Chain A
Amino acid sequence: MFIQVNSIRRLFPILHQEVNGNPLIYFDNAATTQKPQAVLDTLTYYYEKDNSNIHRGAHTLADRATRQFEETRESIRSFIGARESAEIIFTRGTTESINLVAKTYGAKYLQKGDEILISTLEHHSNIVPWQMLCDQSGAILKIIPISDTGELVWEEFERLLNPKTKLVSIVHASNALGTINPVKKIIEAAHAVGAKVLLDGAQSTSHLDVDVQALDCDFLVFSAHKLYGPTGLGVLYGKRELLEAMPPFLGGGEMIREVTFEKTTYNTIPFKFEAGTPSIAEVIAFKPALDFITSTGKANIHRHENDLLQYAVELLHDVKGVIPVGTAAEKIAVFSFNIQSMHPFDVGQLLDAKGIAVRTGHHCTQPLMQRLGLEGTVRASFAVYNTRAEVEVFAQAVAKIASLKNK
């Protein structure tokens, strides 16, 4: 089966508009994806018909909201192949998920001299929480280097891995370059020295099959809004035995079993980590987003997006002044580049004048940019609703901008 891109585009109302006098071309999907009508309808319907607080209300609306809320948890379980839905924790996003693990698992288990291994490719959200943990615990942060193409140097990873390594926190697919890391091999190698592995799936979960049992990762984190779902919602998957052993994150309602002024006992997972009223509407509206991905098929999505990436690479290959950044063999559909003698911010603004939305700058990966000797890049990132025709318009616009300074 191939993607019927025109039928898919009809599901996304936001795509059908003009920006600065040109049809919108939305190539900033690695930052956030657009939402299909079913997600928008579910949000509205929830507030019109079902709005109510979950899990405790003794009335029909509360019951309907609770049932739908827990249905999404089950959908996520199935989507990532977890054993049980209790292993799915709702958070505010990938960033909060990582911080949760650092502040609970990390605080309990990491001690002075222990090592945490991350890579040069990481987003700031997978760097800073570990630096904070290292400051508090005396653990040491080690960095897996990359090659000039943007791929991990495997020998260096093996060299860095040792019995002191307690945690490997690694990105599955790089947001800035698109590099797909060999995470199955990484997890096996890490487990062999007794380290746990947190997989940052913020960019991979919408493009690649991510099965937590097949990968055997200990934690997986991602955000709903990059999977055609609502903003303000993230997921933390953790293996039951780890989640049960971890202390709670935030204290408050929902996360308790019994509270007295003398002693409080905590709820079971997943509720132990879900203090306070969650983003109920967003959780419920995330299910149709997952249904959209599942019915379209990850393999079809990946094939379509990869075709767009290869087409962009091909069209811009010989254009004078265009410098692709990140040329790993295995990539998600991220085309990062620079134009000789131009600042990425200027390039982005000129593309915006043509209705083309891209991201410019360091992409919250400053250490990666420093490694590559760049101030930043221009990043076009593709999603299932993008077309070859859009890639052509984009390539023409880039070529015109490149010609300004590269005669």
Chain B
Amino acid sequence: MSTIADIQNEIVAEFEILGEDRESTIFYIMELGETLEPYPESFRKEEYTIQGCQSKVWLVAEEQGGKVIYKADSNTDITKGLISLLIRVLNHRSPKEILNADLDFIPRIGMGNILGSQRSNGLVAMINQMKRYALAFQNKQNA
């Protein structure tokens, strides 16, 4: 299985093909959002939301065989695309791998610049929440 670093390198290579054109980059991110698995409706509740200023995110995680499985959704297509990237990198990893992951693909593809400050803050909130789930599973494993 590819490592977190391998997948991040893949993503960076894909974004390099898009070049500097911001519109095509955003269109691509929106397309990625369409690949997200359907979000389980029973978890579409306030306690699973990460509140941004304009976009809303639902995130839930479970542990299967020592690996973390994330499911997430958003009410905006661009944010869905961002979620799909994070899930691609972090899904089916051990809590330890997730907690140690340096998500350097985000600065490498210039995401902050593409997204602007509102969505970048949302992205940080999403990553923090994913790591909190991983920490909870790790604590459970160690208990």
Contact = CB atoms under 8 A, between A and B. Distances in A.
Contacts of A343: 54-55, 75-77
A349 B33 CA distance: 15
A20 B116 CA distance: 12
Q: Size range of the interface on A?
A: 10 to 19
A345 B22 contact: no
A106 to B, nearest CB: 30
B60 interface: no
Given A361-B53, A376-B54, A345 B76 contact: yes
Interface of A: 20-21, 342-346, 349-350, 352-354, 360-361, 375-376, 404
B26 interface: yes
B78 interface: yes
B32 interface: no
Interface residues of B, number: 18
18 contacts: A20-B22, A21-B20, A21-B22, A343-B55, A343-B76, A343-B77, A345-B76, A349-B26, A349-B78, A349-B115, A349-B116, A350-B26, A350-B27, A353-B23, A354-B23, A360-B54, A361-B54, A375-B75
A344 B55 CA distance: 10
A342 B77 contact: yes
B135 interface: no
Nearest to B23: A353
A20 B35 CA distance: 28
Given A343-B55, A353-B26, 14 more contacts: A20-B22, A21-B21, A343-B76, A343-B77, A345-B55, A345-B76, A346-B78, A349-B78, A350-B26, A352-B116, A353-B22, A361-B53, A375-B75, A376-B54
A342 B27 CA distance: 13
Contacts of A349: 26, 78, 115-116, 119
A360 B25 CA distance: 20
Contacts of B27: 350, 404
A347 B54 CA distance: 12
Contacts of B115: 349
Contact of B78 (A20, A21, A345, A375): A345
Contact of A346 (B25, B76, B116): B76
A344 B77 CA distance: 10
A344 B119 CA distance: 14
Contacts of B78: 345-346, 349
B4 interface: no
Contacts of B30: 346, 404
A346 B77 CA distance: 7
